């Protein structure tokens, strides 16, 4: 954490190498967050770049008070919300054909189908529940999540339980529950 703080200070001082190191460290968590929030066919790469661009523009105002990940995920969440607002839509359930032709093939057919179902189930969740589940999947603590979303941690814990149970129930309905193929 100290190394990261030092890196951020160098970035604030205008060291682009430090910025590169921060991008290298955080690009996959941010991309995973965006992909889970908008679905894999969404503009994940472009929005990930947007997140780092906005972070770069705002780094001068960053104070080393909270954790850097909290600050960065807040920017990512704003970028996701802006993207949804721009397209006037919420992430939609994905048709199977789209996922079948997804660029991350080749995967076994069953795995692709399972992936499509998971994405659809996630997309069905309201944003308030999905964001909690997605941030928790990234390992974000509820207290940190509370700072990102400005919502009490107790509320977020409750939402996490509701979201996970909804996913479990929908997977069972779609035939992907425990003990099923």
- By the criterion CB under 8 A, which residues form the site for another protein? 16, 19-20, 23-24, 27-28, 31-32, 35-36, 40, 44-45, 48-49, 52-53, 56-57, 103-104, 107, 111, 114-115, 118-119, 122, 133, 136-137, 142, 157, 160-161, 164-165, 167-168, 171-172, 176-178
Smallest distance, another protein to C-beta of residue 93, A = 15
Q: CB-wise, 16 or 90, nearer to another protein?
A: 16
Smallest distance, another protein to C-beta of residue 94, A = 12
Smallest distance, another protein to C-beta of residue 99, A = 10
Smallest distance, another protein to C-beta of residue 71, A = 17
Smallest distance, another protein to C-beta of residue 75, A = 13
Q: CB-wise, 70 or 125, nearer to another protein?
A: 125
Q: CB-wise, 88 or 104, nearer to another protein?
A: 104
Cis ω before 106 (30° cut-off from 0): yes
In SS3 terms, the chain reads as: CHHHHHHHHHHHCCCHHHHHHHHHHHHHHHHHHHHHHHCCCCCHHHHHHHHHHHHHHHHHHCCCCCCHHHHHHHHHHHHHHHHHHHCCCCCCCCCHHHHHCCCCCCCCHHHHHHHHHHHHHHHHCCHHHHHHHHHHHCCCCHHHHHHHHCCCHHHHHHHHHHHHHHHHHHHHHCCCCCCCC
Q: CB-wise, 23 or 88, nearer to another protein?
A: 23
């Amino acid at each position: 954490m100290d190394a990261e703080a030092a890196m951020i200070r160098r970035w604030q001082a205008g060291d682009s190498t430090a910025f590169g190191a921060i991008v290298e460290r955080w690009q996959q968590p941010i991309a995973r967050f965006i992909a889970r929030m908008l679905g894999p066919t969404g503009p994940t790469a472009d929005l990930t770049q947007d997140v780092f661009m906005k972070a770069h523009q705002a780094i001068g105002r960053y104070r080393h008070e909270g954790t850097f990940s909290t600050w960065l995920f807040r920017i990512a969440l704003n970028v996701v919300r802006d993207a949804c607002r721009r397209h006037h839509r919420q992430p939609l359930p994905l048709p199977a054909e789209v996922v079948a032709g997804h660029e991350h093939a080749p995967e076994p057919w069953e795995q692709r189908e399972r992936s499509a179902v998971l994405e659809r189930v996630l997309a069905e969740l309201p944003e308030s529940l999905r964001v909690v589940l997605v941030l928790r999947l990234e390992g974000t603590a509820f207290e940190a999540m509370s700072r990102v979303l400005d919502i009490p941690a107790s509320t977020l814990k409750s939402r996490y339980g509701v979201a996970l149970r909804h996913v479990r129930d929908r997977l069972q309905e779609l035939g992907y529950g425990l003990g099923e193929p």
